[in-house]
Amino acid sequence: MTDNEQIVIKSLPQGKLRAEDYERVIAPMPVVEEGMVLVKTEAFAITAGTRAGLQGSASYAGAPTPGLVMGSTGVGSVVESRAAGISVGDRVLTSTGWQQYSVQKAAAVSIIPESHNAIDYLGPLGVNGLTAYFGLLEVGKAQAGQTVMVSAAAGSVGHLVGQIAKIQGCHVVGVAGSDAKNAKLVDELGFDVAVNYKSGDYRSALKDATPNGVDVYFDNTGGFVLGSALFRMNVGGRIACCGVVSQYDTNAPEPGPKGIPGLLINKRIVMSGFLVFDFADAYDAARTQIAGWLASGELKSLTDSVHGLAAAPEAFVDLLAGGNIGTRIISLA
Amino acid sequence: MTDNEQIVIKSLPQGKLRAEDYERVIAPMPVVEEGMVLVKTEAFAITAGTRAGLQGSASYAGAPTPGLVMGSTGVGSVVESRAAGISVGDRVLTSTGWQQYSVQKAAAVSIIPESHNAIDYLGPLGVNGLTAYFGLLEVGKAQAGQTVMVSAAAGSVGHLVGQIAKIQGCHVVGVAGSDAKNAKLVDELGFDVAVNYKSGDYRSALKDATPNGVDVYFDNTGGFVLGSALFRMNVGGRIACCGVVSQYDTNAPEPGPKGIPGLLINKRIVMSGFLVFDFADAYDAARTQIAGWLASGELKSLTDSVHGLAAAPEAFVDLLAGGNIGTRIISLA
């Protein structure tokens, strides 16, 4: 067999992440021990959340250090198996990382049903889709007729949040950083309106976009956009805190918005942080529902695919600058 | 009848509140119309929350303006009644304001049962006590064996929160701004430990005081102490946002803590703003329970009484600087 091409962390970023913080190495093929499988990576997702781990402090993403392969969720095919119940040729979802091959414990891989598109497991049927689903419905408790606002609305989670909210019968307001993204959200994905937070009239545009206020704010960004949402929230509103992309690409996170906790009190807002892993018991039921929406065409998955391991560092830097529309995927196939 | 002595707002404060922002006036005795009662003030409470309204922006406390009598909750006796069901001599809880006499609509007064101490309606049986009760039990969902942290712990709400948490079987950690207050919390009110946030080793002292982390943080302050609590919260913890005393006595509120929303996500914290008025349907049941604790001696009400209307402005300025222990009351009797 061949050697194993990898992208490893060369240095933890100082300030903004640079492609030079990574380097390509050729490692020996890993040894497959009893109870494990060798997975050949077909594609992996690049998500903003993994930037948080590179800040070197505690994070749910773990604590990457120089010399380690960059982490990511990916899909691949089993090329060697020493685990009962997993066969060569099975397609699986696992933590591939940024490398051609990885060895995984049997418990760390999920076999993808043949009836499903494997790439969807990096999008609507994977962590992104499940995050959108549980964050909107279980944490945000979005109800038909209510207004749902979502930030990073063209991102891997956000573009699914808005569509699921439309399926629920909500009025959906997206916030993203370019007019091109916003046009896509409205024209292709059915958002009611989308507002550009980089525009000079953002606050008045947001006000115009939310004439009945905001009942559920799905927060992927924190920072400035969270602050703007607080002023539009209705009494009894819910904020589902999913990510803090505005604060990932830095070593010096900003303070929180001024309205916390004052506006939370006046408006009796419930602000809940969540991690999708806490809903693992309900993944199967959610995937069944999401797969139905994909099959009926009610839910569309936007992917933004880049080819080749070597392109991953630049693709990550660009994503942190808002360069992606939908889920950014690195394909190796 | 005599004239009506009042303290009115002379100017909305610029920066910190000063006693000179108020002035004493003699107004004519108000006219009692049909359906109304005339109440002679016996005592009123001074609470930090009313400072927020003086910032001139929207607040649940309404929007005071120069020339208006300063608002407050008080107790008094009915001296004239043109309302069915309310008799001269009844003792009532109502929005007396800082004045000797006030006219009230029948619906705006609550008759205090003769079996209860009227002054307790400015403390444990009034808004302060109900706020502590519902914030801790309904919003914070404190359970026996859990750790409860409360800020402004020697304040009108805080000193009741800690005692109710002890009654529930919680480990109780108070945070206040002087060693004298903290000694009182532990020695007289049964707090397990109390930490001085003005002390140089506050953060390490808080860590030592919360060896099992914090399950419920009852936040009366916002700002710096809220930020410190976020680092001690356990996964699945609840923050009951009750007040923002750290940000009231200013025209330029600080930004929120850095850990929002990042730490909310990693720890799946639910942060809920609340107003006690939303629990009005359950006041009677809560008062029955609180009155039982008062009668048994399990709950003690600390009051910090100052005599005379003229003393109210200085007493308010001093309260905002942390000068009170327990509920500050201005008595006119």
Which is nearest to B29 in space by CA: B20, B37, B38? B38
Q: What is the pLDDT of residues B281-290, one digit of tens each?
A: 999 999 999 9
Per-residue confidence (pLDDT) for residue A256, from 0 to 100:
84
Question: With 80 as the cut, is the pLDDT of residue B202 above it?
Answer: yes
Question: With 80 as the cut, is the pLDDT of residue A250 above it?
Answer: no
CA dihedral sign, ordered B149, B150, B154, B157: negative
Show which residues on chain B lie within 8 Å of chain A, measured between beta carbons: 52, 58-60, 219, 222, 226, 239, 241-244, 247, 253-275, 278
Residue of B59, B230, B260, B267 to mutate for A, most A C-beta atoms under 10 A? B260
Per-residue confidence (pLDDT) for residue A301, from 0 to 100:
94
DSSP string, B215-261: EEEEESS-HHHHHHHHHHEEEEEEEEE---GGGTS-SSPPPBPTTTT
User: Count of CB atoms within 10 A of residue A94's CB?
Assistant: 22
Closest CA in chain A for residue B231: A58
For residue B238, name the pLDDT band (cuts at 50, 70, 90).
Answer: very high
Closest CA in chain A for residue B259: A256
Per-residue confidence (pLDDT) for residue A103, from 0 to 100:
97
Q: What is the pLDDT of residues B47-86, one digit of tens each?
A: 888 887 777 654 444 567 888 999 999 999 999 999 999 9
The token pair that represents B17 in the structure block:
């509140």
With an 8 Å Cβ cutoff, are A262 and B270 in contact? no
With an 8 Å Cβ cutoff, are A261 and B222 in contact? yes
Weakest-pLDDT range from A9-18, A138-147, B222-231: A9-18
Q: What is the pLDDT of residues B160-199, one digit of tens each?
A: 999 999 999 999 999 999 999 999 999 999 999 999 999 9
Residues of B with CB below 8 A from A266's CB?
A: 58-60, 273, 275
Task: Return the percentage of chain A with pLDDT > 90, whole number.
Answer: 85
Residues of A with CB below 8 A from B269's CB?
A: 272-273
Secondary structure element (H or E) that encloses residue B75, with its range = strand B74-81
Residues of A with CB below 8 A from B244's CB?
A: 261-262, 265
Residues of B with CB below 8 A from A238's CB?
A: none
Q: Which CATH class is domain A4-123+302-331?
A: alpha beta
Tell me if residue A99 falls in helix, strand or coil.
Answer: strand
Question: With 50 as the cut, is the pLDDT of residue A58 above it?
Answer: no
Question: With 60 as the cut, is the pLDDT of residue B300 above it?
Answer: yes
With an 8 Å Cβ cutoff, are A265 and B273 in contact? yes
Instruction: Name which of B258, B265, B275 is nearest A256 (Cβ-Cβ).
Output: B258
Question: With 90 as the cut, is the pLDDT of residue A188 above it?
Answer: yes
Question: With 70 as the cut, is the pLDDT of residue B20 above it?
Answer: yes
Closest CA in chain A for residue B273: A265
Instruction: Name the amino acid, one letter, at A274.
Output: F
Per-residue confidence (pLDDT) for residue B58, from 0 to 100:
47
Q: Which residues of B298-321 are buried (b: 16+ CB within 10 A; e: fewer)?
A: ebbbbbbebeebeebbebbbbbbe
- How far apart are the C-alpha atoms of A40 and A101, rounded to whole Å? 5
Give the number of residues written for chain B: 333
Judging by DSSP bridges, how do beta strands B233-241 and B270-273 pair with one another? parallel
Per-residue confidence (pLDDT) for residue A292, from 0 to 100:
97
Residue B248, min C-alpha distance to chain A (Å) = 10
Per-residue confidence (pLDDT) for residue B75, from 0 to 100:
97
With an 8 Å Cβ cutoff, are A269 and B266 in contact? no
Mean pLDDT of the region B110-134: 95
CA dihedral sign, ordered B293, B294, B296, B298: positive
CA dihedral sign, ordered B141, B146, B149, B153: positive
Mean pLDDT of the region A65-76: 93
Superfamily (CATH) of domain A127-277: NAD(P)-binding Rossmann-like Domain (3.40.50.720)
B252 contacts: CB under 8 Å, gap ≥ 6: none
Q: How high is the ipTM of this complex? A: 0.87
Residue B254, min C-alpha distance to chain A (Å) = 6
Question: With 90 as the cut, is the pLDDT of residue A90 above it?
Answer: yes
Residue B40, min C-alpha distance to chain A (Å) = 31
Tell me if residue B119 falls in helix, strand or coil.
Answer: helix
Instruction: Name which of A263, A270, A273 is nearest B272 (Cβ-Cβ).
Output: A270
Closest CA in chain B for residue A254: B258
Domain layout of chain A by residue ranges: 4-123+302-331, 127-277
Residues of B with CB below 8 A from A242's CB?
A: 265
Closest CA in chain B for residue A221: B261
Per-residue confidence (pLDDT) for residue A59, from 0 to 100:
47
Instruction: Name which of B244, B258, B268 is nearest A261 (Cβ-Cβ).
Output: B244
Residue A327, min C-alpha distance to chain B (Å) = 21
Residue of B226, B232, B234, B272 to mutate for A, most A C-beta atoms under 10 A? B272
Mean pLDDT of the region A50-73: 75
Residue A52, min C-alpha distance to chain B (Å) = 10
Per-residue confidence (pLDDT) for residue A62, from 0 to 100:
55
Per-residue confidence (pLDDT) for residue B255, from 0 to 100:
80
Q: What is the pLDDT of residues A286-332, one digit of tens each?
A: 999 999 999 999 999 999 999 999 999 999 999 999 888 999 999 99
Q: What is the pLDDT of residues A207-236, one digit of tens each?
A: 999 999 999 999 999 999 999 999 999 999
Average predicted confidence (pLDDT) for chain B:
93
Mean pLDDT of the region B126-133: 96
CA dihedral sign, ordered A12, A18, A20, A22: positive
Dihedral (C-alpha) A170, A173, A175, A181: value to the nearest 10 degrees?
90
Task: Return the percentage of chain B with pLDDT > 70, whole number.
Answer: 97
Residues of A with CB below 8 A from B255's CB?
A: 254-258
With an 8 Å Cβ cutoff, are A275 and B255 in contact? no
Mean pLDDT of the region B107-134: 95
